[in-house]
Amino acid sequence: MSKNNNKNYIIRCGLLIDGTENEPQQNVSISIEDSKILDIGSEGTINTPEGAQIIDAQEKTVMPGMIDSHMHFLGLQDQDLIKAFVDPQGVRLLRTSVHAKNLLDAGFTTVRDMSSSNGIPLKLAINEGTIRGPRILSSGPTLTMTGGHGDFLQFLPYEWVKTLGWSREEYGTGMICDGIAECMRAARLNLRNGADFIKIEATGGVFSQKDKPTQAQFTPDEIEAIVNVVTRAETFAAAHCIGSQGMYDSVKAGVKTIEHAFFPTQEIIEMGLKKQTVFVPTLSVLYSSVHPSAKGVIPDWAWEKAHMGWDVINKNISNLREAGCIIAMGTDISVGNDTTGLNLMGHGCNAKELELLVKFAGFSFMDAIRAATWGGSKACGLENQIGTLQKGKIADLLIIDGDPLKDVKILQEQDRIQMVFKEGKIMKNLV
């Protein structure tokens, strides 16, 4: 980060949701010294940093900064994904700086960029203080087999795709690799170029034309080889998994996070519990794709593939929750503007996912908030630093006008996100 210019604070909380399994607390205070939480408790009994500024939030709710564990900095303005390959790269990168600001203003202090060519440079610009935005963990380009979900230009001849830089040596949003040696090299190259973790396309998907969402793609040996690389590099792998076979192969191989997770079996659930796997359902993108407003907006083949069982998928996500699996909130949002009319698919609309988890998958308001805080920290591998408000952790927190435990939908209203702290610094202040 840039040179530290933090101040010290005492926040007098009305309601404190700390993101842990603790019950919410009334009328406690949080002391912040530089970037960390110094203490939490009754004012007069807690450690007080020198020269602390008092912030009165006694009529408000204080909670951890939210985490979107699955989104994309593609730099698109709408859901026309072809523009990812047509719009100039520089323009798309510049757009992401606005998208990052929108995320921060919406209360998201950390995000995982799950494959893009913009996430890494954007992260570096934010870290040096050039622009405002959340903490970013980026996978860089996703790893995909030839013809896999990350091979988005499946409708073009491969010779043409190679001229666009969509090959084993040069890449955009996805990097094609086949066989153990190529998969290991691709993972190492991404890490060399600044990726924080590696994303694997373990099954087919909705927005790749020629595969099926349930189709298993990388082989177990290829997945294990990538996990071996990231383990040695002291980081982790995340796997796009819709179908059960790809989920099984990924969890068994030691992949840390399972993205989408639409069709888990009981065997997968039990193995995930044992391995402490994090599941990241993404109802926002699926809901936006099956909603009538998407007809004619997304390609017909994507519309047809998206209808793979909305009710069954919601029940499956509920089963993961009921079994006690670790769940992190993710949206799969990749565009800057919401064109659905549902307040759903533009960066800044991300908290809609909490409402969907409650409405369709049976989450309580607290379950949804914990998925967006503690669960997200687990997905990032940062549970010892962020995700809960505890002594010694980084001071990422929000001051909310209202009580999200009475109505989680208020987290979608940006004027209610009155203050955003990131690393002890005030990044937004409407008070």
Residue pair 242/260 in contact by the 8 Å Cβ criterion: yes
Are the beta carbons of 295 and 343 closer than 8 angstroms? no
User: Which residues have a Cβ under 8 Å from the Cβ of 359 and sit 6 or more positions away?
Assistant: none
DSSP state of 295: B
Helices (H), 291-331: 300-306, 310-323
Alpha-carbon gap, residue 116 to 199, rounded angstroms: 11
Q: Give the model's pLDDT for residue 208.
A: 83
The mean per-residue pLDDT over the stretch 210-217 comes to 93
| Per-residue pLDDT at 8 | 96
Bridge partners, 375 (sequence order): none
| C-alpha 372 chain-centroid distance | 9
Pair 354, 413: CB distance under 8 Å:
no
For tokens 């005492």, name the residue.
10
List pLDDT tens digits, range 44-71: 899 989 899 999 999 999 999 999 999 9
In terms of residues, how long is the chain? 431
Residue ranges of domains in the chain, CATH in brackets? 9-64+388-429 (2.30.40.10), 66-380 (3.20.20.140)
* Segment 12-31 mean pLDDT: 96
- Whether the model clears a pTM of 0.85, i.e. scores above it, the answer is yes
Q: Work out the pLDDT band at 26, boundaries 50, 70, 90.
A: very high
Residues facing residue 399 across a β-bridge: 62, 419
- Give residue 5's pLDDT: 59
DSSP summary character for residue 76: B
Using DSSP, state whether 196 is helix, strand or coil. Answer: coil
pLDDT for res 382: 98
Is residue 332 over pLDDT 50? Answer: yes
Q: What is the pLDDT of residue 161?
A: 66
Summarize the confidence of residues 212-216 as an average pLDDT: 94
What phi and psi values does residue 325 have, to the nearest 5 degrees?
-70, 155
Which residue do the tokens 């949003």 mark?
Answer: 173
CA separation for the pair 119, 96 (Å, rounded): 8
**If you search the block for the tokens 């990044």, which residue do you land on?**
427
- Region 216-239: mean pLDDT is 98
8 Å CB contact between 73 and 112 = no
Q: Are the C-beta atoms of residues 101 and 132 closer than 8 Å to each other?
A: yes
> In the 8-state DSSP scheme, what is residue 404?
T
Strands of the 174-176 sheet, one edge to the other: 174-176, 142-144, 198-201, 237-241, 257-260, 278-280, 326-327
